Amino acid sequence: METIATHPGVVVHSADGHVQVKMEVISACGSCEAHAHCTFSEKKDKLVDIDTPHWKDYQPDDRVTVIINSGRGLQAVLIAYVLPALVMLAAFSVLYILKLPELWIALITILVVCIYGWVLYLMRHRLQRKFTFRIEKQ
């Protein structure tokens, strides 16, 4: 059974099958007693667009809970951070073994990572279907 990650939010806008939710994201040290005086604590508002057939049920300022399966979150981290790092290391290693000049190794490695990002961009619609959020009223 997959665990579920939830986060509270507030509806900003609702129209045409989409609900836009504002979530306040607080860094890990945000719960510290000294966070108000600390320059390291971070607090941001994030906007998330959620596709739902029940978009008419949500009005601006409604309090909601945004839900995602945590297994999908781990997959997203793998695709966004781990795989590009592995691609970069693999490209660097192969080019280093081929004894190319360092400048060429650096440029080709950067190019390979850019190509990885471009492929992700081309697959964005497929990934959006895979990584979906759900929404529930509080």
pLDDT value of residue 1: 46
Using a cut of 0.85, tell me whether the model's pTM lies above it.
no
Query: What distances in angstroms separate CA 81 from CA 27, 51, 76, 94, 117, one per listed residue?
Result: 19, 25, 8, 20, 11
Written as one string, the DSSP assignment of 67-82 is EEEHHHHHHHHIIIII
Taking residues 102-120, report their average pLDDT: 97
The predicted-structure confidence for 25-37, as pLDDT tens digits, reads as follows 766 565 565 555 5
Query: What distances in angstroms separate CA 96 from CA 66, 85, 89, 108, one per listed residue?
Result: 45, 16, 10, 11
